Chain A
Amino acid sequence: MSVYKHIYRAYDGKVTPVWTRVFVLARYGFAEAWSSKITIGLFTLCLLPPIVFLIGIYLANNSIARALMGGLDPQGLPINARFFLILLEVQSWFALALTSWIAPRLITFDLADNALPILLSHPISRFGYVLGKLIALLASLSVVTWTPCLLLFAYQSYSSPLPWAAANLQIAAGLLAGELIWIAFLSILGLAVSSWVKWRVAATGAIFAAVFVPAGVGGIVTGVLRTKWGFLLNIPFMMTSLWQRLLGAPESARANFYLPTGAIVATLVLACFICAAMLNARIRAREVVRG
C-alpha cells in the first residue's frame, strides 16, 4: 500500500521510563488473573488454613481459652518450627493450585489469540513482557504464602507470654526465604508450561503434571537404580527437605535419602533455566497461521 502522507514524525515528548513499563503489563495481568470468580474462590480457600493455625496459636497462648475448651494440654499445641513448617507446606500446595489456575490465564490467551506480535510491537522487550507477567503471578501468590505466614509469626510473637520472637527469628527468615523460593519457582514453571500448551484447560493440568510426574519418575529412578539422587526429580520431597532446613525443623527423610542443600539448590536453578529457555523459545513476536 502506498503511503502518501509524509508529515508523520517520531514522538518527541516525555517518554515513560523503561523500567516502569513492565508494571503496566503486571497491572493488566493482575486484573486478568483476579477477574475470575474461581480465583476469588481459591483465594478464599487458601486463607482458611491460616485461620485454623491462628486459632491454634490463640489456644496455645491463652490458658482461659484452653480451660473453656475442656482443659487442653498446653504441651499438646507446641508453637515451634514444626508448627510453622506444616503451615508453610499447606500454603505452598495451595499456592500450586492457585498457580495452575492463574498462570494459564496470564499467558495462553495472548498466545492462542496471536496477540504477542501486537504486544511486543509496543516499546517493551520480551524480557519485560515475561517480567510483567511474573510480577503479577508473584504478587498473587505472595498474598497466600509468605504474607499470612509472617502475620501468624508476628501474632505468635505478640501473644506469647514469654519472649519468643528473638529466639525464633530463624523461623521467620525460613518462612520468608522458603516461600519466596517456592513462589519464584512456581511462577516461572507456570508461565513456561502455559506458554507451551495452547489450551488453558490443558495448561492447568500440565502444571500439576509438571510437579507430580517428575516426582513419580524420580521415585522409579530411586527404586530401580537404587540411588537417592532420583529424589532430585521429586519436587515435593526436595522442597520439604529445603523448608525443614530453612526453618530448623527436624528432618523427616531417612538418613540414606539425605540430599545435600547444594544439590537441591542446583536442581532448582537448573529447572528455572530450563523454564527460561522454554519461555525464550515461545515468547516471540510471530504469528502462526495454519491452513
Chain B
Amino acid sequence: MMEVVGKFLRSLTQQPWGLWWIQARRLIRIEVRRNLFTWKAGWVYFLAFIPTLIILIHLSVDRHPAFAISEDTSVLAGIVQLYYIRLGVFFGCLGIFSRLIRGEMIERSLHFYLLSPVRREVLLLSKFVAGCISAVLLFGSAIAADFALMYAGFGAAGTDYVFNGPGLGQLESYLAIIVLACLGYGAIFLLLSMMFRNPTPAAMLVLGWEAINPVLPSLLQKLSVASYLRHLMPVSVSAHGIFALLTVETEPVSAWAAALGLLLLIIAVLFYACYRVRTLEIRYTTD
C-alpha cells in the first residue's frame, strides 16, 4: 500500500508543473480579459451592478433614520439570497461559463487550443479559474458596493453597525456566499456546456430545481447549490405565503459543513468535466 502511494507521489513530482503553471497563467489572462474588458461583457456588469444603482438611488433620495438599519439589513439579505444567488449569479455564470467551451465551439476557435501542446485538463481548469476570477470580481465588488451604499446613509449609526456591530461579519459571509455560488454554478455550467450542444434547457432545469428545492425532502436538498448557501446566510430571509407552508425546514448545518459540502460537489463536477474533456471531439458541421 505504502509502495503504491509512494509511486503515485513520485509520479506527481515528476510532472511538468512549471510548464503547466505558465500555460495556465497565459490562458487565464486571455480569458479574464475577454470576460471583463469587452463590450459583449456589458450584460454581466448590468446583472451585477443594477442593485447597486437602485441602492444608490435609495441613498440619495430616501431618509435614513437609525431605527431602519435592521429593515435595510433584511432587505440586503433578501437581495443577496433572492436576487444574486437565484438570478444574478445564476445567469451571469451561465453566460460566462457556457461561453468558455461551447462559445469557442460556436466561434469555431476551440480547435486552436486543442491543437496546441497544452494538456486538456490544464486548458479546462484554466478556463474554469478564469471564469471564476471574472465572476467573483464582478459580483464580489457589486456586493461590497451594495453593502457600503446601504449603510453609508446612516452616518455614525451605520459606521457603528459595520465596524463595532455585526456588519463586517455579514459582509464576509456575503462575499463567501458569492464566491461559493460562482464556483458552484460555474462548475455545473462548464460541465453542461460540454455535455450538451445547447446547455440552456439543462440550465433552466437547474434553475427550476433550485427554485423548488426548499419544498423537497432534506436528502434531495443536498443536490443543490442554493441549499448549501442558504445555511451560510448571516440573516435569514423567510418565505412568504403558500411557499412558506410548503418549505421543508432542514436541520441547521454549520457554515464549515455547508462550505465543505459545496466544495466537494464542485470538485466532483470538475473531476467529471476533466474526464469528459479528454474525449471531447469537435464537429463544427453539427455545432
Query: Chain A interface (Cβ within 8 Å of chain B)?
Result: 38, 97, 100-101, 199-202, 204-205, 208-209, 212-213, 215-217, 219-221, 223-226, 252
Contact = CB atoms under 8 A, between A and B. Distances in A.
Nearest to B204: A208
B79 A220 contact: yes
Band of interface residues on B: 20 to 34
Contact of A220 (B54, B99, B198): B54
B107 to A, nearest CB: 9
Contacts of A224: 51, 54-55, 57-58, 75, 79
Chain A interface secondary structure, helix, strand, loop or mixed? helix
A216 B106 contact: no
Interface of B: 47, 50-51, 54-55, 57-58, 61-62, 75, 78-79, 82-83, 86-88, 91, 94-95, 98-99, 102-103, 106, 197-201, 203-204, 207, 241
A201 B55 contact: no
B87 A205 contact: no
* Top 7 closest pairs, chain A to chain B, by CB: A204-B200, A216-B87, A205-B200, A216-B83, A223-B75, A224-B58, A209-B91
A219 B240 CA distance: 14
Contact of A100 (B54, B102, B200): B200
A178 to B, nearest CB: 21
Contacts of B50: 217, 220
Chain B interface secondary structure, helix, strand, loop or mixed? helix
A47 B58 CA distance: 46
Given A217-B51, A220-B83, A252-B241, 17 more contacts: A201-B106, A201-B198, A202-B99, A202-B200, A205-B95, A208-B200, A208-B207, A209-B87, A212-B207, A213-B91, A216-B82, A220-B50, A220-B51, A220-B54, A223-B78, A223-B79, A225-B57
Contacts of B87: 209, 212-213, 215-216
B201 A101 contact: yes
A224 B56 CA distance: 10
A219 B86 CA distance: 12
